[in-house]
């Protein structure tokens, strides 16, 4: 219980730490000289404030220190100023139009001068109003962007996780030696640097490839390979705490506030790059993607310390899932689909694991629900996360403009996804369970890959003569 | 030719020279007895090597620093050490008359090229297999996504390469991609300066440009028994390179900041290293022969060796869509250049002496350029044939055709709130 409270506190701290004074996601006009806006997020004011009760409940359950009422007041102030500005814009346009007509009809000079003066005054008013609006807009929009997603009905609002699935119970043996004792297989330097040898190294590659393949063949997913850097604008769109990833120092960075972070290709955020501003035909939905690659999340490690080990390492091979659907119901079904494929994989390994819904307080602001796949780590005597599938609703899609066209409307897509495997932690747990990695059954493993086919034999025979 | 090319040895010589005036040569290091001081002739030879390799000529500076050091100015020793550390490795005598051009050793023509070949980007985009446009603001300059069967092909190539090299006795190691800058610099890569190819993180650590760096770091400060050599390892890793290029022939995924590579690395004795390099070369040639692409083997001239290599082979594949040869693989013998910087040693069986080892590195497969060569060579109208050796890793699939399940890149500028 104490452990959970620490985890929750660190999550909240991380979330709070991520609040920046300046955002790459929304740049007001006064700052547009030095920084350019790369994306104009869809800001759904009406939809957000219409159901304030569910938003307040989400904020309270997540343990966030945000007052909806205060944000709403800022919204009203912003609206008032914005409307005033729009009025002046309208008046100025009318004067311009009038001036054109009067000039065309050969109106008196006095009349023309009067209109010109009026136009000048309005131009100055507009300039003054804009200057006055920038800080109001800044203040409101940034608070607005920090409002969290609503919670999914299944998300636990209490302090505890809710068990969804469990496979074999952990043994009662205490004082199980750490996987780091296996010096023949693991050379651990620090959280950023470790080496795995022999069967551990083979499992590291094979498990990732097999599960990726299983998602393609059994789950009808499309495989991708993604970039490893994600810029700040997307981390903000996804409400990812910036401290989760290492920042990359780039020479000649044009947009100083849109810096790059090392997420790894098998990170959810990496998929967002390909989805930003993308409008897809409904025929490709549900869009199911899976990717094998690296993940470099350094925040999760804090949960499994203080002793550094493979459980706390930043780098891991991972399998990442990403699904976009048109409706919330389809998103729910896809989350189940991903979990059922993951269950097949972990069941075949016959390692004690469970799937839980994480409590609201541990979610990032964009998640509405998170299912966590956890294997039992004997040396820590607790479950550790080897995957986590989240439902984001259309919260993130609105921010990155990921949509589909329905008649004349844009429907923002519902996103579901997350890593289904972190190989490093799984290897650590398997070793502590005394499971021989070479004996592990990997669903999705290619049956023919390991043995040469007749064609290969023939080729090798031919090669003898070339 | 015996060039003294490493910092430790030269500095040691200087220190001994100084100490020999006041004390006797230390008994535990018999090699120092009677060791000549660093002569002007040796410096001349170092300078000749630097010029041959088109390396920054810091020998005049080294001369001055040595003079100052000999005069007893100890404050210059660190600078001298740094400058000596930046000298390149010695050069294989075979290469001395190569000039600036590589020598083509063999050309392997294995298939007829398509008549009107498309370039990779055009081909992959038409088949919906790749995206590289409008990503700079989101995932960075020259970032790319491989989609559908092209992503599956990447994994198939990794499996194929691993299967091949492990058959040759290479042991797989999982390696870190985030390394301290000292490890990277010890491999002969500079991490500072305007034109550095190395990415740095907020922690001050660096991103590895090739797993050779992590592997070399793994064996740092180790003394291996001679019986274990040659010790051959392989790794699959992400490679990060800050280099960029605006050249038309390097467009698309030809030169990118991030890619996956299967690397081979070996630690061996000085007597084994030349033969070991030949084995690396033969494995690489065999890998690409099996893949059925057209390629040539080049023996690289001194100016193309970089700092650490004593000799180096490159393999260039014919990329019919680009109508050019593109480097897809290489292997180098770094002799004791990296080993001395990282203190990788072995225990000589004959006399029990601890000696510096030699290191060899080579590319088994680097994904993006190999994908270019494969797709451009294997294109057949509206599809791409999968090389026979890769089919077992792709459930026997023979062709890659256009996928309708992957959305086309149709972008909106903004969506107005209702």
- Please tell me if residue B146 touches chain A, with a CB cutoff of 8 Å: yes
Report whether pLDDT(A174) > 90.
Answer: no
Chain segment A415-424, per-residue pLDDT in tens: 999 999 999 9
Residue A263 in tokens = 């997420």
Beta-strand relationship, B231-240 and B171-174: parallel
At residue A256, the pLDDT reads: 75
Contact B138 A198 (CB under 8 A): no
Chain segment A56-98, per-residue pLDDT in tens: 999 999 999 999 999 999 999 999 998 999 999 999 999 999 8
User: For residues B245 and B256, what is the distance between their CA atoms, to the nearest angstrom?
Assistant: 9
Q: Hey, which bits of B178-230 come out as E strands?
A: 178-179, 200-201, 206-207, 223-225
Contact B417 A270 (CB under 8 A): no
- Please tell me if residue B192 touches chain A, with a CB cutoff of 8 Å: no
Query: What percentage of chain B carries pLDDT values higher than 90?
Result: 72
Contact B173 A197 (CB under 8 A): yes
At residue A189, the pLDDT reads: 96
Of A262, A270, A291, the CB nearest to B201: A262
At residue A108, the pLDDT reads: 83
Q: Which residue has the higher pLDDT, B260 or B78?
A: B260
Q: Sorting pLDDT into bands at 50, 70 and 90, what band is B20?
A: very low
* Interval A2-13 mean pLDDT: 40
User: For residues B342 and A394, what is the distance between their CA atoms, to the nearest angstrom?
Assistant: 52
Chain segment B357-395, per-residue pLDDT in tens: 999 999 999 999 999 999 999 999 889 999 999 999 999
* Interval B291-302 mean pLDDT: 97
At residue A22, the pLDDT reads: 66
**Least confident window among A72-86, A238-252, B61-75, B243-257:** B243-257
At residue B27, the pLDDT reads: 28
Q: Which residue has the higher pLDDT, A454 or B128?
A: B128
Query: What is the ipTM metric for this complex?
Result: 0.90
Query: What percentage of chain B carries pLDDT values higher than 70?
Result: 90
Mutate to test the interface with B, among A201, A203, A238 (most CBs of B within 10 A): A201
Q: How many residues does chain B have?
A: 418
At residue A450, the pLDDT reads: 45
At residue A339, the pLDDT reads: 98
Residue with tokens 């510096």: B356
Count H helices and E strands in chain A, helices first. 12, 16
Instruction: Name the H helices within A105-166.
Output: 109-145
Alpha carbon of B411: minimum distance to chain A alpha carbons (Å): 5
* Interval B16-37 mean pLDDT: 37
Report whether pLDDT(A274) > 80.
Answer: yes
Q: Sorting pLDDT into bands at 50, 70 and 90, what band is B13?
A: low
Report whether pLDDT(A446) > 50.
Answer: yes
Q: Sorting pLDDT into bands at 50, 70 and 90, what band is A33?
A: low
* Interval A30-36 mean pLDDT: 67
CB-based burial of residue A308 (10 Å sphere; 0-12 exposed, 13-18 middle, 19+ buried)? middle
Q: Sorting pLDDT into bands at 50, 70 and 90, what band is B186?
A: confident
Pick the residue from chain B with its C-alpha nearest to A234: B138
Residue with tokens 């990717």: A291
* Interval A433-440 mean pLDDT: 95
Contact B258 A225 (CB under 8 A): no
Report whether pLDDT(A362) > 60.
Answer: yes
Q: Which residues of A touch B407 (CB under 8 A)?
A: 278, 280-281, 284, 287
Pick the residue from chain A with its C-alpha nearest to B161: A449
* Interval A265-284 mean pLDDT: 97
**Least confident window among A52-56, A169-173, B197-201, B203-207:** A169-173
Binding residues of A for L-serine: 298
At residue A14, the pLDDT reads: 43
Looking at residue A301, the DSSP 8-state letter turns out to be G
Mutate to test the interface with B, among A75, A221, A228, A445 (most CBs of B within 10 A): A228
Report whether pLDDT(A34) > 80.
Answer: no
Pick the residue from chain A with its C-alpha nearest to B205: A192
Chain segment A448-465, per-residue pLDDT in tens: 444 444 454 555 555 545
For chain A, how far is it from start to end, CA to CA, in angstroms?
68
At residue B18, the pLDDT reads: 46
Contact B389 A273 (CB under 8 A): no
Q: Sorting pLDDT into bands at 50, 70 and 90, what band is A218?
A: very high
**Least confident window among A11-15, A376-380, B114-118:** A11-15
Contact B417 A198 (CB under 8 A): no
Q: Sorting pLDDT into bands at 50, 70 and 90, what band is A305?
A: confident
Contact A231 B139 (CB under 8 A): yes
Contact B139 A273 (CB under 8 A): yes
Chain segment A364-416, per-residue pLDDT in tens: 999 999 999 999 999 999 999 999 999 999 999 999 999 999 888 899 999 99
Report whether pLDDT(A37) > 80.
Answer: no
Beta-strand relationship, B379-380 and B383-385: antiparallel
Q: Looking at domain B103-400, does it have CATH number 3.30.70.980?
A: no
Residue with tokens 């689909």: A337
Closest CA to A421 of A294, A335, A332, A304: A294
Report whether pLDDT(B6) > 60.
Answer: no
Query: What percentage of chain A carries pLDDT values higher than 90?
Result: 72
Q: Which residues of A touch B176 (CB under 8 A)?
A: 189, 192-195, 315
Alpha carbon of A99: minimum distance to chain B alpha carbons (Å): 31
Q: Sorting pLDDT into bands at 50, 70 and 90, what band is A272?
A: very high
Of A189, A227, A233, the CB nearest to B258: A227
Report whether pLDDT(A6) > 50.
Answer: no
Chain segment A119-159, per-residue pLDDT in tens: 999 999 999 998 888 889 889 998 999 999 999 999 999 99
Contact B138 A224 (CB under 8 A): no
Q: Which residues of A touch B163 (CB under 8 A)?
A: 449-450
User: For residues B280 and B230, what is the distance between their CA atoms, to the nearest angstrom?
Assistant: 12
User: For residues B257 and B247, what is the distance between their CA atoms, to the nearest angstrom?
Assistant: 15
Of B147, B202, B410, the CB nearest to A249: B202
User: For residues B313 and B362, what is the distance between their CA atoms, to the nearest angstrom?
Assistant: 9
Contact B174 A192 (CB under 8 A): no
Q: Which residues of A touch B174 (CB under 8 A)?
A: 194-197, 200-201, 204-205, 317
**Other CB atoms within 10 Å distance of the CB of residue A138:** 19
| Structural domains of chain A, ranges and CATH numbers in brackets | 38-145 (1.10.287.40), 162-439 (3.30.930.10)
Closest CA to A39 of A118, A156, A160, A145: A145
Delimit the domains of chain B by residue range. 7-88, 103-400
Q: Which residues of A touch B143 (CB under 8 A)?
A: 227, 229, 273
Pick the residue from chain B with its C-alpha nearest to A257: B137
Query: What percentage of chain A carries pLDDT values higher than 70?
Result: 89
Closest CA to A338 of A362, A326, A321, A317: A321
* Interval B84-89 mean pLDDT: 91
Three-class DSSP category at A206: helix
């Amino acid at each position: 219980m104490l452990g959970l409270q620490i985890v929750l506190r660190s999550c909240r701290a991380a979330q709070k730490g991520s609040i920046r004074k300046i955002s790459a996601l929304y740049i007001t006009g006064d700052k547009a000289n030095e920084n350019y806006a790369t994306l104009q997020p869809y800001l759904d004011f009406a939809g957000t404030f219409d159901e304030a009760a569910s938003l307040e409940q989400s904020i309270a359950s997540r343990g966030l220190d945000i007052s909806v009422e205060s944000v709403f007041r800022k919204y009203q102030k912003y609206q008032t100023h914005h409307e005033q500005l729009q009025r002046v814009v309208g008046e100025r346009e009318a004067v311009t139009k009038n001036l054109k007509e009067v000039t065309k009809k050969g109106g008196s000079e006095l009349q023309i001068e009067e209109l010109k003066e009026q136009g000048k005054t309005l131009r100055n008013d507009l300039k003054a109003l804009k200057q006055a609006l920038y800080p109001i807009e800044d203040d409101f929009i940034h608070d607005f962007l920090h409002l969290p997603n609503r919670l999914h009905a299944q998300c636990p609002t209490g302090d505890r996780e809710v068990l969804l699935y469990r496979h074999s119970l952990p043994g009662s043996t205490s004082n199980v030696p750490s996987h780091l004792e296996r010096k023949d297989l693991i050379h651990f330097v620090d959280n950023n640097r470790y080496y795995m040898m022999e069967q551990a190294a083979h499992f590291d590659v094979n498990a990732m490839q097999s599960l990726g393949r299983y998602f393609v063949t059994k789950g009808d997913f499309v495989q991708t390979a993604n970039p490893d850097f994600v810029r700040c604008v997307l981390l903000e769109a996804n409400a990812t705490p910036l401290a989760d990833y290492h920042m990359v120092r780039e020479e000649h960075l044009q947009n100083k506030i849109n810096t790059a972070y090392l997420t790894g290709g098998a990170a959810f955020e990496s998929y967002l790059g390909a989805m930003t501003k993308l409008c897809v035909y409904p025929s490709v939905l549900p869009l199911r993607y899976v990717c094998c690659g690296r993940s470099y999340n350094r925040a999760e490690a804090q949960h499994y310390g203080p002793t550094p080990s493979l459980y706390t390492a930043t780098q891991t091979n991972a399998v990442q899932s990403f699904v976009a659907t048109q409706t919330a119901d389809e998103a729910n079904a896809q989350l189940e689909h991903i979990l059922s494929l993951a269950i097949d994989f972990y069941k075949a390994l016959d390692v004690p694991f469970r799937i839980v819904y994480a409590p609201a307080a541990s979610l990032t602001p964009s998640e509405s629900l998170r299912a966590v796949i956890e294997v039992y780590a004997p040396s820590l005597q607790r479950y550790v996360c080897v995957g986590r599938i989240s439902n984001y609703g259309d919260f993130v899609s609105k921010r990155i403009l990921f949509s589909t066209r329905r008649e004349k409307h844009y429907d923002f897509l519902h996103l579901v996804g997350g890593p289904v495997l972190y190989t490093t932690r799984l290897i650590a747990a398997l070793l502590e369970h005394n499971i021989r990695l070479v004996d592990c059954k990997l669903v999705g493993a290619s049956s023919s890959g390991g043995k040469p086919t007749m064609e290969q034999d023939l080729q090798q025979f031919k090669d003898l003569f070339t | 030719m015996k060039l003294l090319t490493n910092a430790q040895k030269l500095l040691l010589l200087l220190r001994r020279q100084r100490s020999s005036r006041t004390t006797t040569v230390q008994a535990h290091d018999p090699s120092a007895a009677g060791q000549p001081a660093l002569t002007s002739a040796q410096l001349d030879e170092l300078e000749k090597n630097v010029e041959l390799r088109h390396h920054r000529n810091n020998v005049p500076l080294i001369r001055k620093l040595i003079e100052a050091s000999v005069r007893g100015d100890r404050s210059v020793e660190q600078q001298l050490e740094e400058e000596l550390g930046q000298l390149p490795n010695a050069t294989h005598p075979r290469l001395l008359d190569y000039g600036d051009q590589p020598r083509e050793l063999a050309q392997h023509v294995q298939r007829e090229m398509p008549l009107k070949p498309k370039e990779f980007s055009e081909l992959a985009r038409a088949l919906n297999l790749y995206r590289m446009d409008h990503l700079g603001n989101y995932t960075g300059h020259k970032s790319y996504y491989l989609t559908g069967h092209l992503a599956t092909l990447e994994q198939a190539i990794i499996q194929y390469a691993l299967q091949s090299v492990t058959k040759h006795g290479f042991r797989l190691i999982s390696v870190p991609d985030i390394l301290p800058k000292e490890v990277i610099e010890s491999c002969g890569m500079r991490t500072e300066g305007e034109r550095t190819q190395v990415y740095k993180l907020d922690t001050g650590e660096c991103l590895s440009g090739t797993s050779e760096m992590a592997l070399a770091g793994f064996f740092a400060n180790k003394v291996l028994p001679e019986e274990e050599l040659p010790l051959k390892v392989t790794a699959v890793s992400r490679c990060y390179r800050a280099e960029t290029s605006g050249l038309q022939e390097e467009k698309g995924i030809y030169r990118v900041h991030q890619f996956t590579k299967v690397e081979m690395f070996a630690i061996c004795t000085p007597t084994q290293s030349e033969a070991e390099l030949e084995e690396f070369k033969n494995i690489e040639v065999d890998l690409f022969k099996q893949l059925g692409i057209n390629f040539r083997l080049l023996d690289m001239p001194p100016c193309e060796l970089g700092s650490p290599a004593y000799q180096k082979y490159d393999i260039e594949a014919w990329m019919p869509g680009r109508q050019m040869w593109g480097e897809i693989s290489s292997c180098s013998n770094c002799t004791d250049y990296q080993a001395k910087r990282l203190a990788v040693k072995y225990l000589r069986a004959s006399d029990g002496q601890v000696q510096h080892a030699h290191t060899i590195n080579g590319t088994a497969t680097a994904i993006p350029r190999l994908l270019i060569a494969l797709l451009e060579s294997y294109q057949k109208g509206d599809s791409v044939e999968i090389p026979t050796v890769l089919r077992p890793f792709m459930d026997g699939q023979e062709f890659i055709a256009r996928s309708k399940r992957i959305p086309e890149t149709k972008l909106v500028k903004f969506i107005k709130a209702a």
